[in-house]
Structures are given as structure tokens and as C-alpha cells.
Structure 1
Amino acid sequence: MSEIKEISRENSSELYAKAKTYFPGGVNSPVRAFKSVYGTPLFIKKGDGAYLWDADDNQFIDFCGSWGPLILGHNHPAIREKVIEVMQNGMSFGAPTALENELAELILSNNRFIEKIRFVSSGTEAVMSAIRLARGYTKRDKILKFEGCYHGHVDALLVKAGSGLVTFGETSSAGVPKAFADETIVIALNDKEALTKAFGDFKDQIAAVIIEPIPANNGLLLQHQEFLQYLREVCTTNGTLLIFDEVISGFRVSFTGAAGLYNINPDIITYGKIIGGGLPVGAYGASAQIMSNVSPEGPVYQAGTLSGNPVAMAAGIAQLTELLKPGFYEDLNNKTKSFVNDILTFANQRNYPVNISHIGSIFWFAFDTTDTIRKAEDIDPHSMNRFKTMHQHLLNSGVYFGPSGYEVGFISAAHTMAILDTAKQAIFDSLNVVFAPSQPSSEGTALASKDDFRE
């Protein structure tokens, strides 16, 4: 293995120093501050296909993909041309356009799990609206969520578990009133006993259970289909709505997301990321009966000046049209499986304690274990020091992962086999560095910060 020269960050460092005079921490979303990895943040100048370029003209193979929405890669010509075409007529009207109908028809005609949809401007906004809808529909107040699932920075859901099998949420951010957290019940993932007890303790009080069916914001905590099916049955029995937060998994693992992959019909689904083609967007959908409760048809109020923004709708139309082409998901998912299996084979041959969970075109490295991790509590925080070393080596080798070991990686249609082969070699070299005898064991070393790891 040849010695890797450290990349220049001079321009990025200057931009970051200036940014800190404008923004809290110098960023507009916490994980971008690189607090969990080495060095100062990279300021990105350009993206094209599977590649990124930073302000110092370093080129990287990108596995972040703007945290998931760029399933076709950066600057895809079909999206770019559609956006430019629509922009010629204006960028925002605060009024209906035919583009909203077109994108809604693309989604609804190819997704049997929802009958009506409402566009918003972010995944957080979609989840916030879905929670309000569930409470309005059931006329109940309490929400049940799972430790390790992230649903945006909604006050009632920005909570963590306390001690015990079933607990009320404890606020995990300043500014979240205790009264809000007290309406949220938090239990561990993949735990039928805790789920059953929660419904026993709070009978007829739980409006909704919300879950990432493919938890991908705190590692990739793959759930057994049996547990998700049990969750569906418990909700049905108790008159509680089941919300699938598919902001990441929707249109990523399949066109119909995890609902389609597992063949489980939730009551409400939230979307984001991919349906905007790289522009800000979110959506929530359900049966016509449930959605009839949303204003102006029903009493549950929700609004947004930029909801259904024509430029975002245009990007979504262009992207989803590509995703509907025959064989798109099969090709992408097979490519990802091959990529992950080759890395695992390399690691296993050298007895490196690392596991890579993957589903569809999403993957995640877990260090100091070879087991599949299904609960947030089973992630060893000390192992994040392994990721810090890996991340630094990969940046210097021209490979970009999101700057947190709790974040997942994404493969896009723009990642050719040749590009993935190049990235694999860099990953092989990085694993040799991470597990070199000269490297200290992660056990006992300073903990990488888990704070601010979510984009």
C-alpha cells in the first residue's frame, strides 16, 4: 500500500472560517461541521455523475449523494433540462400548477399503498403533518416512536428513550418542552415485548406509531419483516395509525419503498429526498378516507407557500420517470450487493471485525462487530473512532463518505462498475489502515461525538 498524500483544504478552511462568522458553528445543518471526523469541512463546488469537487479542486467519488436524493447521481441531464425548461416560466406562484398533478399521478398510479398525497417542502414537514393528521383522525394525543429512528426536528419526536422497557421520551434538544416529550412514548426497535406492554399501559391513548421501516439515520438498523408485520397487526387491533417514515427508503429500495418491499400497508407514509430530484420537497400520503381530514376538505390544518413548488415538481417528474424504466432497481441493487460483498470478503479474509449492512442501494459500516445490528443501543460508540480513521484515509484517496459514522452511504445509477472498483480499492486500503497493528484499539479511546450527526 503506497503512502497517501493529504489533500489540500486551504480554500475550504478559509470559507469555513468566514462561515463561522455568519452561521452557528459555520454551517446550516449540524453534521456538515465535521465534528465527528478529522479536519475542517469540505466546501463543495461542483457535482457531476458519481463525483464531487470541492473548493480546492479535489475530486471525490461520492457515496453521500446529498444524503440520499441523488439516486441518479449529480447533475443528471434529464433533471437539469426539465428544471431549466420550467424555470423559464417562473419559479414560484403560491398557486396550483399542472406539474403538481403530473408528479402526483406518477406516484399514485405506481403506488398501491396511498390514494391521495399532499406535497410539502421537507421530510420534517411531512412527518410533522402526518403526526397532526393521525392525532386529528384518531382524536388521541400520544405517539409511539422507536429509539434509533429519526424523524426530522419535530419537537414531539426529537426525543430519546429514558431507562426501562417502555418510557416517555426525554428531550434530546434544548427548547423542546417537557410537555411535548411527555406525549411521546419511546421503546427499543425489534422488541415485541416492549411494544405489547406499551399498548397495555396506554390503551386507547396512542394515536400513531411512527417508524422508519428501514431505519437509516442512526446506522442501518435492519428490522425483521416479522416485527414490522407484528407492528401492523398491533396497530390495527388497537385502532392506532401506523406511519411509515420513508423519507430515506421511499423510492430508494424500490419505487414503492419499504411498504412495497415488505408488502406491509401502513396507514400514512411520509416521503422526501428522492421525489425532489435534489430540490427541497416532502410529501405525505394515505387512503382517501384519512386524507379527507386534511384542510380544506377536513379539520386538520396544514399549509405551505412553497408546497408544490413548480421547480421542485419538475425535478421530481424527471427523476421518477427515470426510476420507472424497466430494470432500474434490479441493476442498482445488484450493483450495490456486489460492491458490499466484495468488501466483506476482503475484510473476512483478514479477520477484520467489520460488518456492512445493506438493503437496496443503501449500505453502512459497523466496526468491531461482525453481527447485524438492529437496535441503536447495540452500536458501540467507541467504534466511531474506526470510522474517523477510515473517513480521513478515504478523503485523501478521493472517496467521499458523509462525515459521521452513524450515517449511511448511497450508491447511485451514476456509479459504474469501474468507479466502484476504484472506490473498493481505496476502501480496502483504508481498512488495512484502520486495523493496522500500529492503530490503537477503539476500546478505551476518546469517544467520537454522537451529537449533531444527523443531516
Structure 2
Amino acid sequence: MYDKSLKAYEEAQSVIPGGVDSPVRAFKSVGGVPPFIDRGEGSYLVDIDGNRYLDFVQSWGPLIFGHCDKDIEEAVLNTVKKGLSFGAPTELETKLAAEIVEMYENIDKVRFVSSGTEATMSAIRLARGVTGKNDIIKFEGCYHGHSDSLLVQAGSGLATFGAPSSPGVPADLTKHTLLCEYNNIENLKKCFKDSNDIACIIIEPIAGNMGLVPATKEFLQTCRELCDAHGALLIFDEVMSGFRASLTGAHGLVEQNADIITFGKVIGAGMPVGAFAASKAIMSHLSPEGTVYQAGTLSGNPVAMAAGLVSLRKLKSNPSVYTELEAKSQRLVNGLKEAATKHNIPLQVGTRGSMFGFFFCEKMPNNFKEVGECDFERFATFHQEMLKRGFYFACSQYEVGFMCTTITNDEIDACITAADEIMETL
């Protein structure tokens, strides 16, 4: 069934560390051979052995309209014919930035980069430049890319391998990173008592790198109040939730405004792209207007801009798509919950828009530590068995799932039926 993928994996390991270009793809936490993908078709992935999988990962979030959407594909192909990259300004950058700015009351300007890691790294540098302070607060289990100062209890891929931080990161580069437990208000207040040099809080308002764990209303309110009281900036990392949880991401679901928002590949419809955005006053500190330096040769790549422009305009013209996607997500997780309950298996489920998560545990986790107490062996078995039946879920209990418009209710029901069969054996 996976003969070609097995051979491809062995060949990849000879020339690529671990055989993959992003650690979680190696399937180490769920076992088995990672299928090597040949193509995507709407709701499905097809591997090089010809196996088809209903895809609940969707390139880790950005493919809201599924694989090979005709409108986005046409825009990409037309742009490619004009050239792949120029390293010079194009009107596409301005048009996409204008679409984003129009949606957010607290955003005036956007700076495009090539990845979510660049976006969060640059947002933190900007916050330090604006405030003149050095320390940052991040939360256990929140992943903000692999820049040095953020690889402290970073969740996701690092947590999958049981490493809370990474060798190769000097202590001097993390001494200004204050670590706080997610959703723990007293812990957060203590950070501000311990330091008067805090430049910013960076947080995933809907954490998607320890499974789906949303921040509570009270916790986000406290983040906002403490930043205001101590002259710090609040950064919402919406690399995953931006334009996913709602038309305006987590920002559209919570009552607090962030000072800086970071975005990821959703704004490029799956192309390599990221961005950070803020008010005119904050962004005026950024070069070439100000003295905070940030640059990138491929920033604002025209192909990514074209793909993102079509995708965002499709979403803006049909905002009811989020209602549809949330209903599908709830249909899926409710079905999984019902199947688990039927077979006396503890399962906790949740959704935020088109994002969903489920945990094999007795109570819904509220932070990274509680996620770590879930039954990872049971999740791994479930993942393996679902994959055999043609259903592709994120390959770690620490990852979130995503719904796309092309997945049908019949396909969701087929997934639930398969899950019910598996739950009986778990």
C-alpha cells in the first residue's frame, strides 16, 4: 500500500535530515511511513502509491477552498507567465495590503514577508524598537516560528519530540524571553512583577500548536490591561487563525484588539508568505520610514500576492462560508465525540470557525501541560487506522485540524463511520 512512499522516504533520508523539511512531517509521534504526496484534488490528497485521503490538514490551514481551486489556480498561472519574482514593488502588494487593512479597524499598514517565522520575528523586533524595551512574554505551547528567542517551550513540532527547547540556541538569546503558562492570569501578572523591561506579549489567541486550545476571554483581557499599564505592546500571532477562525481571524471572535497582528500562508492561499500589520504610528518605526530594520528579497512575491488576493476577495464576497465551515467542523467533532462515548472512550472536542481539535482525555485541556497529559498512544493508533481508511488528520496530538469548502457532509459522515469502527477497537 505504501511501497513507493517507503522507497521515497528512504531516498529522502539519504539527502534530507530525517527525510523531511519540517520535523512533524516525519510521523514520529504517530508511527508509520509518511505518505509522499503526488497531488491534491479538492478535498483529497493522492500519494505516489495512488492512495486517496480526505484531507483535514489542508497544507496546515491555508487551503480554505481546498486543493487546486480554479480561481486561485488561474490567478497563479497568469502571474507566473509574467515572471516569478522581481525583488521590486508591484501593484499586487498594494492591493492585497489594502484588502487586509479594510477588514481591521486597528490596522493601517501591512509589511509582507515570506513566512510566519519572519512575521513573528519582525513583529517582536518592531515592538522592541517602539517601546525601547527588551523582554518579551510568550506562553508554553505557543509556537511562533523557529527564531532563536522563541524556541522556549514552543509546542508543536518541538513538543512532538519531547524537546522543550533547541540545541544551538545560546542562553543569551533567550534570557529576555519570559515564559508563562497559557490561560494562567496570576502567572502572567508575576511576569510583569519580575521585569520592568517588557516590550511585548506575543500570544496565539487561538492556540493551534498544542491542539486547539483557545485563550479565555478573561485571559486576553488581562493581557491587554497589563500591556496598557506597563507600556508594552500586545501581539496576536494569527499565522494559523488569521482568516481561518473568521473573516478577521481570532480578532473577530474576541473583544480585545492587539497592537500588532501577524499573518501566515492563509493570506497567500498556500503560497509561502507571511505579514505583520499595525497602526500607522507603530509601523512608522519600520524602515525605510523609521529605524527598525527589516528586509526580504522575496517579500511580496507577485505569485503569492496574486493567489492571496483572489482568495481573500472570494472570502469577503461570501462571508457565509465561515458559517458553513464551522457547521461542518462541528458535525465532524460531534460525530467523533458520539462515537467515542458509545465505546466508553474519553474524548474532548472543540471548534473555532473552520479550525477543530480533539483530545483523548477526561477533560478539555486549558494549557500545554494539560495537553501533555492526554493519551498520545491512543491518538497514534487512531491516526494510523484512519489513514489506512483514507482519512488524513494532522500527524500529532499537538496539531489542529482544518475544514475546507469542498469537503461534503457525506464525506464527513463516512469519516465518522470509520472512526466509530476504530473506536470499538481502541
TM-score, shorter chain, exceeding 0.5: yes
1:439 maps to none
1:411 maps to 403
Assess if the C-alpha contact under 8 Å between 1:51 and 1:74 holds in 2: yes
Q: State which drifts further: 347-356 or 390-399.
A: 347-356
Q: What SS does the corresponding residue of 1:150 show, helix, strand or coil?
A: coil
1:88 aligns with 2:81: yes
Assess if the C-alpha contact under 8 Å between 1:171 and 1:178 holds in 2: no
2:171 maps to 178
Q: Distance between the aligned counterparts of 2:424 and 2:9, measured in 1?
A: 31
2:10 maps to 17
Q: State which drifts further: 382-391 or 137-146.
A: 382-391
CA apart distance, 1:224: 1.2
> What does the per-residue CA deviation read over 1:330-366, in whole Å, with 9 as the maximum and x for residues that have no partner?
1111221222222222322333211112211111221
Q: Distance between the aligned counterparts of 1:214 and 1:413, measured in 2?
A: 21
Structure 1 consecutive aligned stretches of length 4 or more whose deviation exceeds 3 Å = none
Q: Distance between the aligned counterparts of 1:309 and 1:331, measured in 2?
A: 31
CA apart distance, 1:381: 4.8
1:270 maps to 262
1:400 maps to 392
Assess if the C-alpha contact under 8 Å between 1:275 and 1:316 holds in 2: yes
CA apart distance, 1:171: 7.0
5+ unaligned residues in a row in structure 2: which ranges?
A: 155-162
CA apart distance, 1:426: 1.5
Q: 2:65 aligns with which of 72, 87, 91?
A: 72
Where do 1:29-178 residues align within 5 Å?
29-160=22-153, 172-178=165-171
Q: Distance between the aligned counterparts of 1:349 and 1:383, measured in 2?
A: 18
Q: What SS does the corresponding residue of 1:280 show, helix, strand or coil?
A: coil
Where do 1:293-332 residues align within 5 Å?
293-324=285-316, 325-332=318-325
CA apart distance, 1:175: 0.7
Assess if the C-alpha contact under 8 Å between 2:247 and 2:319 holds in 1: no
Q: What SS does the corresponding residue of 1:133 show, helix, strand or coil?
A: helix
CA apart distance, 1:248: 0.5
> What does the per-residue CA deviation read over 1:92-143, in whole Å, with 9 as the maximum and x for residues that have no partner?
0000001111111111112223111000000000000001000000000000
The residue type paired with residue 271 of structure 1 is: F
1:196 maps to 189
Q: Distance between the aligned counterparts of 2:319 and 2:346, measured in 1?
A: 38
Q: State which drifts further: 279-288 or 382-391.
A: 382-391
> What does the per-residue CA deviation read over 1:137-186, in whole Å, with 9 as the maximum and x for residues that have no partner?
0000000111111101010010129xxxxxxxx97001101011111000
Q: Distance between the aligned counterparts of 2:74 and 2:6, measured in 1?
A: 33
CA-atom RMSD in angstroms: 1.4
Where do 1:302-451 residues align within 5 Å?
302-324=294-316, 325-369=318-362, 371-381=363-373, 383-434=375-426
Q: What SS does the corresponding residue of 2:214 show, helix, strand or coil?
A: coil
Where do 1:204-223 residues align within 5 Å?
205-223=197-215
Assess if the C-alpha contact under 8 Å between 1:171 and 1:181 holds in 2: no
Assess if the C-alpha contact under 8 Å between 2:343 and 2:423 holds in 1: no
2:225 maps to 233
5+ unaligned residues in a row in structure 1: which ranges?
A: 1-7, 162-169, 435-455
Q: Distance between the aligned counterparts of 2:264 and 2:314, measured in 1?
A: 17
Q: Distance between the aligned counterparts of 2:88 and 2:265, measured in 1?
A: 23
Q: What SS does the corresponding residue of 2:253 show, helix, strand or coil?
A: helix
The residue type paired with residue 316 of structure 1 is: G
1:26 maps to 19
Q: State which drifts further: 54-63 or 405-414.
A: 405-414
Assess if the C-alpha contact under 8 Å between 2:339 and 2:423 holds in 1: no
Q: Distance between the aligned counterparts of 2:4 and 2:109, measured in 1?
A: 47
CA apart distance, 1:425: 1.2
